[in-house]
Amino acid sequence: MTLLLTGVDGQLGFELERALAPLGEVRPSTLSGRTVGGRACLPLDLTDTSALEAGLDRLRPRIVVNPAAYTAVDRSETEPELAQRINADAPAALARWCARHDALLVHYSTDYVFGGESERPWREDDPTGPLGVYGATKLAGEEAIRSAGCRHLILRTAWVYSARFANFLRTMLRVGAERDHLKVVVDQRGTPTTARGLAEVTAQLLGRHGGAAASSLGTLHLTHHGETSWHGFAEAIFARAREAGLIARVPVIEAIPSSAYPTPARRPAYSVLDCSRIRTQHGICLPDWQVGLGQVIDELVGG
């Protein structure tokens, strides 16, 4: 069974290439045709839908896994056309091809499709209301996939990070080594989620449903368990890193409101996702977010 995997030069794509390997022939792809380590892979331009569909015709995968996305939340406010092409038009093209060839499409979406005003975790069928271009284009990608009528699995997740690439954890460790005092937003709440955890659950789901003529798996929420603020996440990062001997000191971490750290794009104040559906339907769940954090810190320590 052939699986096409986009975006292996990103943190989720990197983990997916390893996790999906036991399921069949994984064909990794990037825009440049090279992985981060310089290894040759399939060149695939997600901004060119005609070339994208032509590439799919040549490869003819049974499963398309699409973690690639335009994730520059603030820059998307000034580059909406590029965000639209990558986050909405490309998934639409992938879905149309999958519908014609009875292939399964796995796509990743975001907590940013919601408006952020809630008193409980967001469920899959709650009304959406993105606050900016990034969330709006990711939602448009979801809707295009559903409209295409292909077999699909859309996994909405949040606050993704890993031991590699650019993410909140690595940024905190870098700036914490440079400064004695940091300011981190305290009034945005969500669930830190490891890229490796996402990849492993994806592999479990595809192991059960990937090759079968199953009905659409639909939309599922998938994060680690629990919730925290960005400030709480930062405190936990430094505490775990210090305990593991990864850093010699912990900076002072001041809690600030979002209003004290203005950004071009608005962020949802509350973006915790309710993951009970994937647990009930598939018997799958990720552990508490602090367990995931410990795993990533251990990976950093191990080099």
By annotation, the residues acting in catalysis are 134
- Measured distance CA(5)–CA(206) in Å, rounded: 13
Task: Say how far apart CA 259 and CA 263 lie, in whole Å.
Answer: 9
Question: What one-character-per-residue DSSP string does 246-274 give?
Answer: S-S---EEEEE-GGGS--SS---SB--B-
Taking the C-alpha atoms of residue 63 and residue 69, their distance in angstroms, rounded to an integer, is: 18
Name the β-bridge partners of 27: 4
* CA 294 to the chain's CA centroid: 19
What is the residue whose two structure tokens read 């700036």?
175
Element spanning 291, H or E: helix 289-302
Q: Where are the beta strands (DSSP E) in 79-211?
A: 104-110, 151-157, 160-161, 181-185, 189-190, 193-194
One-letter amino acid at 141 equals G
